[in-house]
Amino acid sequence: MEKYFGESTPKLGFGLMRLPKEGMGKIDIEQTKKMVDLFMEAGLNYFDTAYVYDNGDSERAAKAALVDRYPRESFTLATKLCAWMGAHNEKTAKQQFYTSLERTGAGYFDYYLLHALQAGNYKKYDEYHIWDFVKEQKEKGLIKHWGFSFHAGPDILDEILTKHPDAEFVQLQLNYADWENPDVTARANYEVARKHGKSIIVMEPVKGGALANPPKAVQDIFRKASPNASFASWAIRYVASLEGIITVLSGMSNVAQMEDNLSYMKQFRPLDIEEQTAIREAQEVINGIKSIPCTGCHYCTAGCPKQIPIPEIFEARNKQLVWGRLEEGKAGYADAIACGGAASDCIACGQCEKACPQQISVIDRLKDCAMAFGK
């Protein structure tokens, strides 16, 4: 008997948000198929997508690479409904569910989530009666389990779970870099979820890929502790070792990343005491670095009136802040704005800050980037 909901689920899930791309930015279906095959052959079977990922192409890729090629009972598929992006009213919000069924061809969803609840949007899900809607779909057998993904603070999480105690699980951003980050409140959110008895699906364990290539001081700590372990392995195993975790979603973008993740998660081993000590040392280092905590989700760019490539600009600035690579940062900035607006073009409309799951003060950060890069 399981101690908590989802305890027996394999601890690595395949996040389909950052799939490999080919020409014109289209998802590379053939490489995705290879990744799916490797994942399934390893005995893993949890796949996560969303209505809004890649303008729906992520769900279509799930159909082509997974649903059309494997028996339905052999895998677990999760997707999400976003009441604040791609929806204009209750009807269009609910239509996302039916569109997702059509795109994936899955017949039903094993896990269904209300997507990216945060301070500025979570009441939309009440306004549009989405909580009752997903429960109705579960009664019809079209959803097996339902919950929500969350990007705000512990007070709001406590409010939501108190109001909706029948939510079966919560999806949270947890990683060792954000554990005590006051903007993400990872530890506090984890504790609130567990206080309510909720199991957790982990998103952004590698912080948008940043922890696969952490600052040099962190790399030195991990190399000393385990010379042959990949940096990503530390991040994923850290959160997979927490109590109450259903699975940890890794947004793998190529076969090499898949092979690395499988090398240590096919037979998952929790961190031991010495490894936990190395993690704490890494956390102390990261807490002293004032980087921009962007994960590159691009939610901020969808409605930018100046078409500013905000994640790419922040990535360029982080090359300077984290690594001290001033010229490389300048070159990255030039590439970022070649086909979009500059940081100085920001008109402070604020739509980006409302959409940002990381609660970044985007406007102020863009001002800093404009000063650092000269435009």
Q: Based on the fold, state whether residues 249 and 356 are members of the same structural domain.
A: no
How much of the chain, in percent, has pLDDT values that exceed 70?
100
Q: Based on the fold, state whether residues 325 and 262 are members of the same structural domain.
A: no
Residue 212 confidence (pLDDT): 95
Residue 74 in any domain: the answer is yes
Q: What is the domain-level CATH number for residue 42?
A: 3.20.20.100
Report how many domains make up the chain.
2
User: Considering only 58-62, 63-67, 285-289, which range has the smallest mean pLDDT?
Assistant: 285-289
DSSP 220: H
Q: Based on the fold, state whether residues 55 and 112 are members of the same structural domain.
A: yes
Q: Based on the fold, state whether residues 110 and 228 are members of the same structural domain.
A: yes
Residue 290 confidence (pLDDT): 81
Q: Kindly tell me if the per-residue pLDDT of 222 is higher than 80.
A: yes
Q: Based on the fold, state whether residues 196 and 228 are members of the same structural domain.
A: yes
Task: Give the tens place of pLDDT for each residue, 225-264.
Answer: 999 999 999 999 999 999 999 999 999 999 999 999 999 9
Domain boundary among 287, 319, 336: 287
How much of the chain, in percent, has pLDDT values that exceed 90?
90
Q: How far is CA 255 from the centre of its chain?
A: 19
Domain boundary among 223, 252, 287: 287
What range defines the domain where residue 322 resides?
310-373
Read off the pLDDT of each residue in 272-291 and give the average, rounded to a whole number.
94
**Residue 355 belongs to what H/E stretch?**
helix 351-355
Q: Based on the fold, state whether residues 349 and 242 are members of the same structural domain.
A: no
d(CA 250, CA 354): 25
Residue 292 in any domain: the answer is no
Q: Any alpha helices (H) in 24-153, and if so which ranges?
A: 29-41, 57-62, 90-104, 124-127, 130-139
Q: Strand runs (DSSP E) across 82-185, as ranges?
A: 109-117, 143-150, 169-173
**197 confidence band (pLDDT: 50, 70, 90):** very high
Mean pLDDT over the full length of the chain: 96
Cβ neighbours for 292, distance < 8 A, ≥ 6 positions apart: 314, 317, 318, 321, 360, 365
Q: Kindly tell me if the per-residue pLDDT of 183 is higher than 90.
A: no
Q: Based on the fold, state whether residues 209 and 339 are members of the same structural domain.
A: no
Q: Based on the fold, state whether residues 225 and 332 are members of the same structural domain.
A: no
Q: Tokens 């001081």 label which residue?
A: 217
Q: Kindly tell me if the per-residue pLDDT of 265 is higher than 90.
A: yes
Q: Based on the fold, state whether residues 21 and 63 are members of the same structural domain.
A: yes
Compute the C-alpha angle 196/199/201, nearest 5°: 130
Q: Based on the fold, state whether residues 328 and 191 are members of the same structural domain.
A: no
Q: Are 195 and 232 in contact (CB under 8 A)?
A: no
Q: Based on the fold, state whether residues 256 and 163 are members of the same structural domain.
A: yes
Q: Based on the fold, state whether residues 202 and 262 are members of the same structural domain.
A: yes
